Each structure stands twice: as C-alpha cells, then as structure tokens.
C-alpha cells in the first residue's frame, strides 16, 4: 500500500472518529427543546376585550444527571387583536422541579407562593402587543427521584385576575437513564425514578399511600382550573 493511500485512509478514520465523538458527546440542552406546547393550559378569568393570553412550554427538556440542572424556555403570547396592557406571568415550581432563576424576573417570597409550590418568580410585562410574545430563560433543578411540575399563570398586574394558567403540568420520563450524562423529560409525562422499585414514587406522607401514581398531579390540575391553588397567596399591595 502506498504511503499516500495510507495517509488518506488514516485521515478518513480520524475524521470519522472525530464526528462520532461530536455526535455522542453533544448533550440535549436548552436549544433542543422541540416546539412549544400549551399542554395543560386553560383560561380562568375573562381577559379584556380583544386580548387572548396563552403560554408555551417546551415539549422536552434535558436534566443533567450529575448536577440535576436543567433549562426551560417559558413563553407568554397575546393571540388577540388588542394590546394586553400591564400584566404579569408567574413561573412556579412544584415537587421535584425547583425554579432557581428566571432572567429579567423577581423571586416570589415564600409566604406568597401558591399552595404546594416550592419556588417561583414573577415577571412583570408593561404591555404585550397584539400578536406578540415574550420568552424567559428559566434555570431550574429537577430531582429525578421525584415527580416535577411547573405552572405558568398569567395575571392582571395587581394579581386579582388570572387570565390564563398552564399547569401545574409535569415533566417526566417512563424510561429513566441513570447511566447517561443527561435524562430527557417530556412535557405532560409523570416521572418514573430510576431506582429499585422505580415503578412507585417515594411517599412523603401517610395520605400519599391512598393516592395512585399521578393522582397528585391531577388534583393540582383540577385545583388550578378552579383557581383554588391561588387562595394561599396574600393580597398584593
């Protein structure tokens, strides 16, 4: 075999190996979240005439198995024909999903968090034009040994009316990947932990023994529809 042909073959093998490394090592991150989804969303109070507010969450996120860190894009849209005026969106975490930071937003005091939530941020919006949208980068952690849910209520600026609420809707997987660098989670899926007896989530109280897997999430959704989950929040000044 000539030295020129040997060099050509060797170069091809190096290029192929390099490409394989890139493919295998590239984790699914915040830029690979799939299209946005309004799954778990519903109108609550009537919005001003001509205003139709909705939200979007990614169809999938990726949780780092070592740090438990993940990134989520939360979007609010005005699908109506008139500007929204002053509104606000809250981004709230439940159970295994904890919201650590939201760019451009302010942490909600613990005493003001909705019942059952563990963390949240409020994002004031001066005005959302008709047909416009605004997206927020959410830094969060997800305990893969538990379920995890997120909720996006869109309110009047004083918090007296909730025009739209997405969630609490779960992220999760029924096929855990404990040995992989990251675990992909899907919106609207209850999480199954990767552990012995992983078909059953850890129980944190006596009453949990009476609830089948996923019932807690359904209860939260039902409460959200009626606006009951908000009753613990103190009036805004």
What is the value of pTM for the model shown? 0.71
Residue 38 has pLDDT above 90, yes or no: yes
Span 97-124, pLDDT tens digits: 999 999 999 999 999 999 999 999 999 9
The whole-number average pLDDT for the span 207-213 is 34
Per-residue DSSP letter, 146: S
Span 117-146, pLDDT tens digits: 999 999 999 999 999 999 999 999 999 999
CB atoms within 10 A of CB 97: 31
Residue 222 has pLDDT above 50, yes or no: no
Residue 153 has pLDDT above 80, yes or no: yes
Express as a percent the part of the chain with pLDDT over 90. Answer: 64
The whole-number average pLDDT for the span 11-24 is 37
Q: How many CA atoms lie within 13 A of 15 on its CB side?
A: 6
> Domain locations in the chain?
35-195+203-230
- The beta strands (E) that lie in the chain are given as 36-37, 41-43, 53-58, 60-64, 69-78, 87-95, 97-102, 106-107, 117-125, 133-142, 148-156, 162-172, 182-187
Q: Going by C-beta distance under 8 Å and a sequence separation of 6 or more, which residues neighbour residue 99?
A: 91, 92, 93, 119, 120, 121, 138, 139, 140, 150
Express as a percent the part of the chain with pLDDT over 70. Answer: 68
CB atoms within 10 A of CB 27: 11
Span 161-204, pLDDT tens digits: 999 999 999 999 998 888 899 999 999 999 998 655 444 444 44
Cα 132 from Cα 110, distance rounded (Å): 31
Mean pLDDT (the chain) is 79
Residue 228 has pLDDT above 50, yes or no: no
Q: Is the domain covering 35-195+203-230 a CATH 2.60.40.10 domain?
A: yes
Tokens 């000044």 appear where? 237
Bridge-based pairing state of the strands 41-43 and 97-102: unpaired
């Amino acid at each position: 075999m000539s030295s020129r042909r040997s060099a050509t073959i060797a170069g091809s093998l190096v290029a192929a190996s390099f490409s394989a490394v890139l493919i295998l090592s590239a984790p699914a991150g915040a830029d690979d979240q799939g299209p946005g989804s309004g799954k778990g969303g519903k109108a609550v109070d009537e919005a001003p005439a001509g205003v139709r507010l909705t939200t979007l969450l990614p169809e999938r996120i990726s949780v780092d198995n070592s740090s438990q860190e993940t990134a989520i894009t939360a979007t609010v849209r005005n699908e109506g024909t008139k500007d929204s005026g002053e509104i606000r969106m809250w981004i709230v975490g439940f159970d295994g999903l904890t919201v650590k930071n939201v760019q451009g937003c302010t942490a909600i005091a613990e005493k003001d968090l909705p019942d059952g939530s563990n963390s949240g941020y409020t994002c004031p919006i001066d005005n959302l034009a008709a047909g416009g949208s605004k997206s927020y980068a959410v830094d969060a952690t997800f305990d893969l040994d538990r379920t995890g849910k997120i909720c996006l209520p869109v309110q009047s600026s004083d918090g007296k009316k909730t025009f739209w609420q997405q969630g609490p809707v779960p992220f999760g997987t029924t096929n855990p990947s404990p040995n992989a660098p990251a675990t992909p989670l899907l919106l609207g899926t209850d999480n199954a932990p990767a552990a012995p007896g992983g078909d059953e989530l850890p129980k944190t109280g006596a009453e949990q023994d009476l609830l089948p897997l996923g019932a807690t999430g359904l209860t939260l959704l039902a409460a959200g529809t009626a606006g009951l989950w908000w009753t613990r929040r103190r009036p805004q000044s």
